Chains A and B, each alone.
Chain A
C-alpha cells in the first residue's frame, strides 16, 4: 500500500519558537494532503487541506497565520507551528489522498510538546 512518512516523530520546543513538520508521500504523488491534530483520548480534528501549488484551505477556527502550510511538491507538505505555546502541544497527523480520491493514507504522526 501507499506509504506516508512524517518527520520528526517527536519534537520538544520552547514556547515562542516555531516548529516545522514534514509529511511525505513515499511511493505516490499526492496533489492533496490533510493535516489533523489529535488531543489525548480524542478523535482526529481536521485542521486544513493542503493542495499542491495553491494555498491551503483551513477549517473553521484554525488560525492560518499560526499554522503555516506549504505544499510545494507532489510528495511533500509541511506544517509550521509558529510561535508555539503549550496549548499547541498535541499529536499532529498528516494524510495523503490517493489517486482514487476516496482513500487517505496516514503518516505515523508527530508528537509536539511545547514547554
Chain B
C-alpha cells in the first residue's frame, strides 16, 4: 500500500528554474528518502533525512521535513534537462522490518 502522496503529479519547467515537489505521509517515521527514476530505469537514491532533522542539502538538492505536518519537500535548484525524471519519496518506520512505503511520485520535465 502507498503511504505517501506527492504533489504535484507532474511538473514542467524551463532549465534554470527551481522545481519543488511535496510529499505527505500518514504514520510516524524513522526517516524519509527521496529517489529519482529515469524512464524505464532503476531507482537512484538522492537523499535521506532522519526524523530528527529538519533540513538537508546535497548539491542542488534541498530537502525539508516537517514531522508535525507529516510532510517533506524536495527542491531542485537551477534545474537542468538531465533532471527530467520521476521523483519518489519513501518513508521508513522502525517497525516495518526495513520496508519502504513509496509515494505516488512526481514526473518532472525540464525543457532546455
Contacts and interface: CB of A to CB of B under 8 A. Distances in A.
Nearest to A46: B99
A111 B36 CA distance: 18
B88 A104 contact: no
26 contacts: A1-B45, A6-B42, A32-B97, A34-B98, A34-B100, A42-B104, A43-B102, A43-B104, A43-B105, A45-B102, A46-B99, A46-B100, A93-B42, A93-B43, A95-B43, A101-B98, A102-B30, A102-B31, A102-B48, A103-B33, A103-B45, A106-B35, A106-B44, A107-B42, A108-B41, A109-B42
B98 to A, nearest CB: 4
A49 B98 CA distance: 9
Interface of B: 1-2, 30-31, 33, 35, 40-45, 48, 88, 92, 97-100, 102-105, 107
Query: Could you say which interface size class chain A belongs to?
Result: 20 to 34
Interface string A33-56: 010000001111110010000000
B104 A109 contact: no
Contacts of A44: 43, 88, 102
Given A46-B99, A103-B48, A41 B42 contact: no
A63 to B, nearest CB: 17
A96 B4 CA distance: 21
Contacts, number: 57
Nearest to A101: B98
A91 interface: yes
A34 B42 contact: no
A111 B42 contact: no
A108 B30 CA distance: 26
Given A41-B107, A108-B41, 16 more contacts: A6-B42, A32-B98, A34-B100, A43-B2, A44-B102, A46-B99, A49-B99, A60-B1, A97-B98, A102-B30, A104-B100, A106-B35, A106-B43, A107-B42, A108-B42, A109-B41
Closest 9 CB pairs of A and B: A108-B42, A106-B43, A97-B98, A109-B42, A43-B102, A44-B102, A43-B105, A43-B104, A106-B42
A77 B16 CA distance: 42
